[in-house]
Amino acid sequence: MGSSEGRVEEINIGPFGEVPAPVQTVEAHAGRGLAGNRYYFGDGAEPGRALTLIAAEALEGLSAEHGIELSAAETRRNVLTRGIDLNALVGKRFRVGDVECEGVELCEPCTSLEAMTQPGVIKGLVHRGGLNADILSDGVISVGDEVVESS
């Protein structure tokens, strides 16, 4: 996974306490997050929580190496990508479709995630649990959009 270009395979949005539901497109708002998502309401997302991404390759590895089948929605991540190294985007700007974003930190798996899913998730997703990012420009993110590191 050394590529700096990938694609959006799935988008999941939902309120706190529920498994997010798949959508084809979602509005992204700078400083607020994704419309309809758990961090969007009230004052908007805290820094580093506006957008979460996870690589399809990480979920496939979780299945192959640990026998754990987990959907992108079950990980509580918003955007499932393929073909881009999300870990390499920490501290960098990138685009999802026409939406400018900035990688803040790795989205490491936590005990809450493991409690909502199954034992072994933390071990299986450590250092590949996804990316927390800020949204820097308004726009729309759609399934099929490119995910590209900004130059």
Instruction: Give residue-wise pLDDT tens across range 60-108.
Output: 988 898 888 899 898 888 999 999 999 999 999 999 999 999 999 998 8
What residue has token string 């089948």? 69
Q: Which of 26-40, 83-97, 135-149 has the lowest mean pLDDT?
A: 26-40
Query: What distance in Å separates the CA atoms of residue 16 and residue 18, rounded to the nearest whole number?
Result: 6
Distance between CA atoms of residues 57 and 127, nearest Å: 13
Convert the pLDDT of each residue in 12-27 to its tens digit.
998 877 778 999 999 9
C-alpha dihedral, 101 to 105 to 107 to 110, nearest 10°: -150
- The order of strands in the sheet holding 25-29 is 33-34, 25-29, 139-142
CATH of the domain at 23: 2.40.33.20
- Distance, in Å, from the CA atom of 84 to the CA atom of 7, rounded to the nearest integer, reads 8
Q: How many domains does the chain have?
A: 1
